């Protein structure tokens, strides 16, 4: 399975929050590790996240704020490096 295929599983099914729940966080860590190993950049990962959010957020006015929040979380996790090495 490609790291891109793992991105949707990094989100809560109902709330669409990235890596918020323990199992989602573990999935996100694995997907980030695999993305880095494949030579993907943080921007590559972010594009996959944004696409997933875009396809699943239907409430008016919610898409932009939801996307910003989740991208900020990715940036923190991507920089962490403690568990991605």
Nearest CA to 45 among 65, 28, 62, 24? 28
Q: Are 6 and 26 in contact (CB under 8 A)?
A: no
The per-residue pLDDT for range 60-74, each reduced to its tens digit, is 777 788 888 899 999
pTM over 0.75, yes/no: yes
Task: Find all residues with CB under 8 Å of 35, minimum gap 6, and list them.
Answer: 3, 44, 45
The per-residue pLDDT for range 4-33, each reduced to its tens digit, is 999 999 999 888 899 999 999 999 999 999
């Amino acid at each position: 399975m490609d790291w891109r295929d793992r991105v949707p599983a990094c989100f809560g099914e109902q709330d669409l929050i990235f890596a918020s729940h323990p199992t989602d966080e573990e999935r996100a860590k694995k997907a980030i590790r695999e993305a880095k190993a494949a030579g993907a950049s943080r921007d590559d990962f972010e594009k996959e996240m944004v696409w997933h959010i875009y396809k699943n957020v239907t409430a008016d006015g919610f898409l932009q704020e939801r996307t910003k929040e989740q991208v900020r979380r990715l940036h923190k996790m991507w920089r962490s490096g403690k568990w991605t090495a």
